[in-house]
Amino acid sequence: MADPRTRQDDPLAATEVVRSTPEALAELRAVASRIAGAMETVIDGKPAVIRTAITVLLAGGHLLIEDVPGVGKTMLAKALARSIDCSVRRIQFTPDLLPSDITGVSVFNQDLRDFEFRPGAIFANVVVGDEINRASPKTQSALLECMEEGQVTVDGQTYVLQRPFLVMATQNPIEMEGTYPLPEAQRDRFMARISMGYPAAAAEVEMLESHGGRSPLELLDPVTDAATVARLCLVTQDVFASPAVRQYVVDLANATRTSPAVRLGASPRAALHVLRAARAHAALEARDHVLPDDVQRVCPAVLGHRIMLSGEAALARRTPGEVLAEILRSTPVPVARR
Q: Could you count the other beta carbons within 10 Å of the beta carbon of residue 184?
A: 12
Q: Within this chain, do residues 190 and 311 fall inside the same structural domain, yes or no?
A: no
* Other beta carbons less than 10 A from residue 224's beta carbon: 18
244 lies in the same domain as 308: yes
Instruction: Judge if 202 and 334 occupy the same domain.
Output: no
Residue 52 has pLDDT above 80, yes or no: yes
* Helix (H) / strand (E) containing 167: strand 166-171
- Spatial neighbors of 329 by CB under 8 A, at least 6 apart, are none
Are residues 199 and 284 located together in one domain of the fold?
no
Residues 191, 116: one domain? yes
Asked if residue 284 and residue 143 are part of one domain, the reply reads no
Q: Does residue 225 lie in a domain region?
A: no
Question: What is the Cα Rg of the chain in Å?
Answer: 20
Residue at 284: amino acid letter: L
What are the beta bridge partners of residue 104?
119
> Within this chain, do residues 203 and 242 fall inside the same structural domain, yes or no?
no
Task: Report yes or no on 2 lying in a domain.
Answer: no
Same-domain check for residues 200 and 319: no
Residue type, 14: A
Residue 251 is predicted with a pLDDT of 96
What separation in angstroms does the CA of 30 have from each of 37, 39, 53? 11, 14, 16
Across the chain, mean pLDDT equals: 85
pLDDT value, residue 131: 87
Number of compact structural domains in the chain: 2
**Residues 190 and 282 both lie in one domain:** no
pLDDT value of residue 7: 37
The reported pTM is 0.86
Evaluate whether 248 touches 168 at the Cβ level (below 8 Å).
Answer: no
Per the rule left: phi > 0, alpha: psi between -120 and 50, beta: everything else, 308 is: beta
| Alpha carbons 171 and 129: distance in angstroms, whole number | 9
Over range 130-137, report the average pLDDT: 85
| DSSP string across 218-265 | GG---SEEHHHHHHHHHHHHTSB--HHHHHHHHHHHHHHHH-TTEEE-
SS3 72: coil
pLDDT, tens only, 141-197: 888 888 888 899 888 888 999 889 999 988 877 656 667 778 788 888 999 998 887
CA distance 221 to 85: 8
Judgement on whether residues 205 and 79 belong to the same structural domain of the protein: yes
Say whether both 57 and 189 belong to one domain: yes
Predicted confidence at residue 60, as pLDDT, reads 93
pLDDT score of 219? 81
> Residue 162 is part of a domain; what is its CATH number?
3.40.50.300
Does 25 reside within a domain?
no
Helix and strand counts by DSSP (H, E) for the chain: 14, 13
Question: Could you tell me the residue range of the domain that residue 95 belongs to?
Answer: 46-210
